[in-house]
Amino acid sequence: MSKVYTIAVLVGSLRKASINRKVALALAELAPANLKLNIVEIGDLPLYNEDIDQGTPPEAYSTFRQHVSSSDAVLFVTPEYNRSVPAPLKNAIDVGSRPYGQSAWSGKPGAIISVSPGAIGGFGANHHLRQSLVFLDVPCMQQPEAYLGGAGSVFDEAGALSEKSRPFLQAFIDAYGKWVEKQSG
């Protein structure tokens, strides 16, 4: 049997009714057989502070780092806040990047999908995030780019994925499955 890669999925919105979380869950269902997607929660991570990260770090930091380290790859599903990366997601990235020299991100194949009800699909957040991933040595899938705009209509009132959006998400997650395999090979 071919390898199944575990994917740490980070959702940039903490909202219960988050469209991004729904997209992450939809991607988990659409994922090809070689990927297993698990959402890693970021909402309980204290704001990164080197002072509390000395000696024994907060349990939430250690648990988060362990989740990312033990995954084969990482997937970011995020809204855009003020044309950039939402603070909880940037905080999670910072937590995972420390202690210095022991970054949990290093070398993990990554991909980003930004999701917004707005017309430009969170382009600013998507590209600001890419900037951090370059520094963190996360090889990030280039194509297909995924800016999911008009996301207010991606799910119907019952929460079902619209048939219009399904092919886009399917193509994205299929390409990511191939990308992870290629990078890990």
Residues that bind ligand FMN (CB under 6 A): 13, 15, 18-20, 79-83, 116-118, 122
Least distance to ligand FMN, CB of residue 76, Å: 12
Least distance to ligand FMN, CB of residue 13, Å: 3
Least distance to ligand FMN, CB of residue 11, Å: 7
- Closer of 33 and 119 to ligand FMN (Cβ): 119
Least distance to ligand FMN, CB of residue 81, Å: 4
- Closer of 20 and 71 to ligand FMN (Cβ): 20
Least distance to ligand FMN, CB of residue 158, Å: 17
- Closer of 79 and 96 to ligand FMN (Cβ): 79
- Closer of 3 and 15 to ligand FMN (Cβ): 15
- Closer of 144 and 149 to ligand FMN (Cβ): 149
CA distance 27 to 19: 12
Greatest Cα pair distance, the chain, in angstroms, is: 51
